[in-house]
Amino acid sequence: MKRLFKTVSMILFSLALAACAASSTSSMGVNCNYTQDKPLWEMPLDCQGGR
């Protein structure tokens, strides 16, 4: 029973991490809209330059 619990827990944990990773990537690319009046450090890293 303990082994089944560990296996199910690990699967759920892996799915949660995969969902977080999937939500942090954009299929449309990076939106560098500089008219949002956001400071440069709050923009995505690809918009900040210097890389």
**What local confidence, expressed as pLDDT, does residue 13 receive?**
92
**What local confidence, expressed as pLDDT, does residue 10 receive?**
95
CA distances from 33 to 24, 27, 36, 37 (A): 18, 17, 6, 9
Whole-model pTM above 0.85? no
Number of residues that this document lists for the chain: 51
pLDDT in tens, the chain (51 residues): 889 999 999 999 998 888 766 655 555 566 777 777 878 777 777 777 765
For residues 16 and 8, give the distance between their C-alpha atoms in angstroms, rounded to a whole number.
12
For residues 43 and 37, give the distance between their C-alpha atoms in angstroms, rounded to a whole number.
10
Q: What is the DSSP letter of 49?
A: -
